[in-house]
Amino acid sequence: MPAGDPTFATAPAVFVQGWLMGAGLILAIGAQNALVLRQGLRREHVGAVVAVCTLSDWLLIALGVFGLGALIQAQPLLLEVFRFGGAAFLLGYAVLAARRAWRPGTGLSGAGTGASLGATVSAALAFTYLNPHVYLDTVVLLGGLGARQPPEMRGAFAAGAALASAMWFGLLGFGAAAAAPRLQNATTWRVVDGLVALLMTGLGLQLLLQPL
């Protein structure tokens, strides 16, 4: 069934699709997620960092689904550029994650000197708005998929993706302290990176084989 087929689309189904796509993309362990994890492990300004990352994701998802995503859909050449560029990024990230899984490091350390609330929030904003991967995931990939939905279903898609974002950042930040021993274990990160490699490979191949 085509993702944007108005004959079969229902709000709950589109909401779930948005949640699944949002969760699949946000699971990649990148700079933004690593910052949330570190703050959780340090138990410093966790709520502020989770809020900044979550609200920023909501803003960018909405921009993609209701604005830029539709614009890209209306420009076939631009759509192809983002399609192949997104596939290249996802497959490249999959290679890096697979390499980390094959040769794991020492795990994510929570040790370090504490930072002020202002410095921490500034870092969260920088990792979000200065990170092209965030725009690719939320505005281009999620936005492009959301723009394929019938107009009356785009809100459900965006809400599902937004819920996935809130759940993930909350889990990372507030769950990191309890899970600190495992998160600092190199074997666990090997498993995480292996799963990320598989997920990113699947998404990248989907972009290549199934036009947006």
d(CA 102, CA 97): 9
Query: Tell me, what amino acid is at 44?
Result: E
Token digits of residue 116: 């002020």
Q: How many residues does the chain have?
A: 212
Tell me the pTM.
0.67
DSSP state, residue 111: -
pLDDT tens, per residue, the chain with 212 residues: 444 444 456 888 899 988 988 888 887 656 678 788 878 877 889 999 999 999 999 999 998 888 775 566 567 776 677 678 777 877 887 888 788 788 765 555 544 456 789 988 998 888 788 766 677 778 878 887 887 888 888 899 999 999 999 999 999 999 887 777 766 667 777 777 787 788 778 877 877 886 65
